[in-house]
């Protein structure tokens, strides 16, 4: 049994689990846990404590509206899978210029964003970012934020310092001592599957946003006029570009091959198990429940029963640089 506790906010207990590592005293654990409460801080304070204060680019009034509406849509969609996990307001969402994000995080991929366990959601922008792309990236990172998280409070060998290591995020499993980053000796099992589930839910959020507000109409009008499609097919296999600016594409299809593989899997599992599931969407709920609760057993059993022993482990080894259903 793992020792630790779920982080609580003013509203509710969350699905962020903080674990007390070996040899960490209760007092040290409390000190280490404090870090995870930063999401309660005010915007300026949070930006400073996350080290992004100097990089934050405040949104325009229109962008702020898109962020607020995306949050509302995210809450509605995510609540269907796991209620009350969107605990953020617009004050937790920070736009960073792409080049600053590269500087701050040392990343080479300058698109998208990232979610921080301490309550910051970062979205990388360019001056020409489209509304739908902003909504999409915000939605995607909000889904990551709402997913199950486990962080371990560990003690340095010298016994001096306490530090935190994330070893679960959504469906991903990291190394219990080194976390997710392979460069630091960690690993990131189920990364591709995790992104597919994240993106599928992000797609649902953007679709709801489009239906409920008129905010994305202009982008979608271009999509229809230029490409003859009335809604993004999220598997175009390439970026849909606005003709006048190369970097201003209307919609991106992040992880399209993984989303397609996930959808195919849900369809297959539905067909093989009609006595259990009423639709492919019901199958997807099994993936989503594992994603938000961190409990993988039901999902693992479903996969193994239908694709054979070892099939679930097979998925674990597919990272985002490979196809996770290779060979089919």
Bridge partners for 56 per DSSP: 96
Q: Which is nearer to Zn ion, 154 or 193 (by Cβ)?
A: 193
Can you read off the two tokens belonging to residue 211?
A: 């239906």
Taking the complex as a whole, the smallest distance from the CB of residue 22 to Zn ion amounts, in Å, to 31
Q: Which is nearer to Zn ion, 52 or 202 (by Cβ)?
A: 202
- Binders of Zn ion: how many residues, by CB under 5 A? 2
Taking the complex as a whole, the smallest distance from the CB of residue 100 to Zn ion amounts, in Å, to 19
CA–CA dist 271, 249 (Å, integer): 36
Taking the complex as a whole, the smallest distance from the CB of residue 85 to Zn ion amounts, in Å, to 16
Can you read off the two tokens belonging to residue 147?
A: 């997913």
CA–CA dist 246, 215 (Å, integer): 22
Give the ranges where 165-275 is alpha helix by DSSP (H).
Answer: 191-212, 217-227, 256-272
**DSSP character string of 216-244:** THHHHHHHHHHH--SS--TT-SSPEEPTT
Taking the complex as a whole, the smallest distance from the CB of residue 144 to Zn ion amounts, in Å, to 5
| 81 three-state secondary structure | coil
Q: What does DSSP say about strands 4-8 and 121-125: parallel, antiparallel, or unpaired?
A: unpaired
Taking the complex as a whole, the smallest distance from the CB of residue 140 to Zn ion amounts, in Å, to 6
Q: Which stretch binds Zn ion (CB under 5 A): 184-192, 197-205, 220-228, 319-327?
A: 197-205
| 147 three-state secondary structure | coil
Q: Which is nearer to Zn ion, 50 or 201 (by Cβ)?
A: 201
Q: Which stretch binds Zn ion (CB under 5 A): 13-21, 183-191, 198-206, 243-251?
A: 198-206
Closest C-alpha among 148, 191, 193, 192 to residue 284 = 193
Q: Which stretch binds Zn ion (CB under 5 A): 145-153, 158-166, 193-201, 311-319?
A: 193-201
Q: Which is nearer to Zn ion, 24 or 290 (by Cβ)?
A: 290
Q: Determine phi and psi for 187, rounding to 5 degrees.
A: -145, 165
CA–CA dist 30, 305 (Å, integer): 42
Q: What does DSSP say about strands 249-251 and 162-169: parallel, antiparallel, or unpaired?
A: unpaired
Neighbours of 122 (CB within 10 A): 25
Closest C-alpha among 132, 115, 114 to residue 252 = 132
Q: Which stretch binds Zn ion (CB under 5 A): 14-22, 36-44, 47-55, 187-195?
A: 187-195
Site string for Zn ion, 144-183 (x = CB under 5 A): ----------------------------------------
Q: Which is nearer to Zn ion, 14 or 198 (by Cβ)?
A: 198
Residues between 200 and 229 with contacts to Zn ion, criterion CB under 5 A: none
Q: Which stretch binds Zn ion (CB under 5 A): 23-31, 98-106, 131-139, 192-200?
A: 192-200
Taking the complex as a whole, the smallest distance from the CB of residue 26 to Zn ion amounts, in Å, to 35
Taking the complex as a whole, the smallest distance from the CB of residue 316 to Zn ion amounts, in Å, to 17
| 4 three-state secondary structure | strand
CA–CA dist 275, 84 (Å, integer): 31
CA–CA dist 166, 28 (Å, integer): 17
Taking the complex as a whole, the smallest distance from the CB of residue 145 to Zn ion amounts, in Å, to 11
Taking the complex as a whole, the smallest distance from the CB of residue 199 to Zn ion amounts, in Å, to 7
Q: Which stretch binds Zn ion (CB under 5 A): 49-57, 151-159, 188-196, 279-287?
A: 188-196
Q: Which is nearer to Zn ion, 195 or 219 (by Cβ)?
A: 195
Bridge partners for 175 per DSSP: 179
Q: Which is nearer to Zn ion, 39 or 198 (by Cβ)?
A: 198
Q: Which is nearer to Zn ion, 125 or 198 (by Cβ)?
A: 198
Binding site for Zn ion (CB under 5 A): 195, 198
């Amino acid at each position: 049994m793992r020792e630790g506790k779920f982080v609580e906010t003013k509203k509710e207990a969350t699905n962020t689990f903080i674990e007390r590592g070996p040899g960490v005293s209760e007092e040290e654990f409390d000190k280490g846990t404090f870090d995870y409460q930063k999401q309660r801080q005010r915007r300026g304070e949070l930006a400073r404590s996350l080290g992004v204060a100097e990089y934050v680019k405040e949104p325009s009034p229109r962008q702020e509206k898109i962020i607020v509406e995306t949050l509302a849509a995210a809450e509605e969609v995510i609540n269907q899978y796991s209620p009350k996990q969107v605990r953020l307001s617009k004050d937790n969402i920070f736009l960073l210029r792409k080049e600053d994000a590269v500087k701050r995080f040392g990343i080479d991929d300058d698109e998208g964003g990232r979610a921080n366990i301490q309550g910051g959601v970062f979205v990388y922008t360019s001056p020409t970012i489209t509304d739908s792309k902003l909504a999409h990236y915000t939605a995607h990172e909000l889904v990551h934020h709402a997913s199950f998280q486990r962080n371990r409070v560990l003690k340095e060998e010298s016994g001096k310092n306490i530090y935190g290591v994330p070893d679960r995020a959504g469906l991903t499993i990291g190394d219990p001592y080194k976390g997710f980053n392979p460069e630091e000796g960690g690993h990131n099992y189920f990364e591709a599957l995790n992104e597919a589930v994240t993106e599928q839910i992000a797609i649902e959020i953007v679709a709801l946003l489009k239906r409920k507000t008129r905010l994305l109409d202009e982008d979608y009008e271009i999509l229809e006029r230029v490409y003859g499609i009335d809604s993004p097919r999220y598997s175009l296999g390439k970026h849909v570009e606005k003709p006048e600016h190369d970097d201003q594409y209307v919609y991106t299809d992040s992880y399209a091959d993984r989303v397609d593989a996930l959808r195919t899997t849900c369809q297959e599992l539905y067909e093989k198990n009609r006595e259990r599931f009423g639709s492919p969407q019901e199958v997807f709920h099994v993936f989503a429940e594992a994603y938000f609760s961190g409990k993988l057993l039901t999902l693992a059993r479903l996969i193994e029963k239908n694709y054979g022993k070892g099939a679930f482990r097979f998925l674990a080894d597919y990272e985002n640089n490979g196809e996770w259903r290779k060979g089919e």
